[in-house]
Structure 1
Amino acid sequence: MPRSDAIQNFNDGISAYQNVLHSAGVHLNPLTNPTREAIDERMNQIERAKENTTHPERMQKLNRLRNYLLEINYETQ
């Protein structure tokens, strides 16, 4: 189980960036069980959102969520 705050940061980020995610046509659920499958699913959703986004600030927020997932993935290995 990850020891850092990455899961909490990811879940907080989902709440904070709901408008960005929804405007990109994506709905993300909080990560409660950091399995490889759950992480991959959310990573794919973020990548889809990035394909639908051109605004630099929104792209930065999506990248921040992606980075949290990468950190969680690293810690669960």
Structure 2
Amino acid sequence: SGWKSFSSAVQEAEILSTIFSNKEIMELYPTRAPFMEFSGTVDGKIDGRFTKDAYWVWRVKVQGKIMKKSLKVKDATETELEAIQNQ
């Protein structure tokens, strides 16, 4: 299923381990409305067999500002610059 494939991809990319080990998250603030960049069929595997035009996909493009935030608890030795970066 699509959700299983997505979950597997997230695990393989180690995105969650990065979040938990570095205690950092990314936030996106859109600066304009999203728009559809592509809509059509793509090849892929169904039941382990390669199939032409296996899936219908949409690619939506979103432009925005990305903010990186730290989930770490503020340390007493944190510098002023680190405090600003970790907001």
Q: Which bracket does the TM-score occupy, shorter chain normalised? A: under 0.3
Q: Normalization by structure 1: what TM-score?
A: 0.24
> Which has a greater percent of helix?
1
Q: Which has the higher contact order (CA 8 A, sep 6+)?
A: 1
**Max Rg structure:** 2
- TM, length-normalised to structure 2: 0.22
